[in-house]
Chain A
Amino acid sequence: DAKTTQPTSMDCAEGRAANLPCNHSTISGNEYVYWYRQIHSQGPQYIIHGLKNNETNEMASLIITEDRKSSTLILPHATLRDTAVYYCIVRRGRFGAGTRLTVKP
């Protein structure tokens, strides 16, 4: 049963890149890696997903290691509005506690 491990919290300076790691060493070959974020108590918001290739969209980049056991979400130029809890999931419905990212001025 694929499970993810993320740091509890991280800080980042405004304007700098935020790199959020996720470990998913038990991921299956056909399971995607999804990233969501939750600002305050709002509904989680989808950010990006990938299978084995690196992905980029207007919000972020996703780097997945070749063995697929870990990934990193990159917010290239973090702003104060990126302060949120970030969730990495590989199995439908299994969100975990996520990483609380605080972007500081």
Chain B
Amino acid sequence: EAQVTQNPRYLITVTGKKLTVTCSQNMNHEYMSWYRQDPGLGLRQIYYSMNVEVTDKGDVPEGYKVSRKEKRNFPLILESPSPNQTSLYFCASSLRMVGPLHQPQHFGDGTRLSIL
């Protein structure tokens, strides 16, 4: 089954303790992206990757890191989490996002992070 898998689904942790949220897709998609969703603000893009070893900042990249060492995985890293990073996070992937053949995004089920 084609899917985007995020782990963990839920996490409660404390300020300053490094954490990684994994994202994996099995559709051989080139494009992957991370979003956060907060009440009243919709989805805001954190980072995206057009392909392996290519990553770019989205609208709200501060406090986050990403890597794209292989096509299927796009982990989101919080080196020193703070309470303002408490949010619902979504990973998404798309076959491609440029040119006339660009395709819609497929989203994971979300990761709810609480930073105390």
**Interfacial residues, chain A to chain B (CB-CB below 8 A):** 32, 34, 36, 41-46, 49, 87, 92-98
A80 to chain B, nearest CB (A): 22
**Which residue from B42, B44, B108 sits with its C-beta under 8 Å from A87?**
B42
**Which residue from B42, B45, B48, B104 sits with its C-beta under 8 Å from A98?**
B42
Closest to A8 in B: B40
Tell me the interface secondary structure of chain B in the complex.
strand
Size bracket, chain B contacts: 20 to 34
A95 touches B104 (CB 8 A): no
B90 touches A43 (CB 8 A): yes
B48 touches A93 (CB 8 A): yes
B35 touches A42 (CB 8 A): no
Q: Pick 15 A–B contacts, CB within 8 A, sort by A.
A: A41-B110, A41-B112, A43-B108, A44-B105, A87-B42, A87-B43, A92-B97, A93-B58, A94-B45, A94-B59, A95-B35, A95-B43, A95-B44, A96-B42, A97-B40
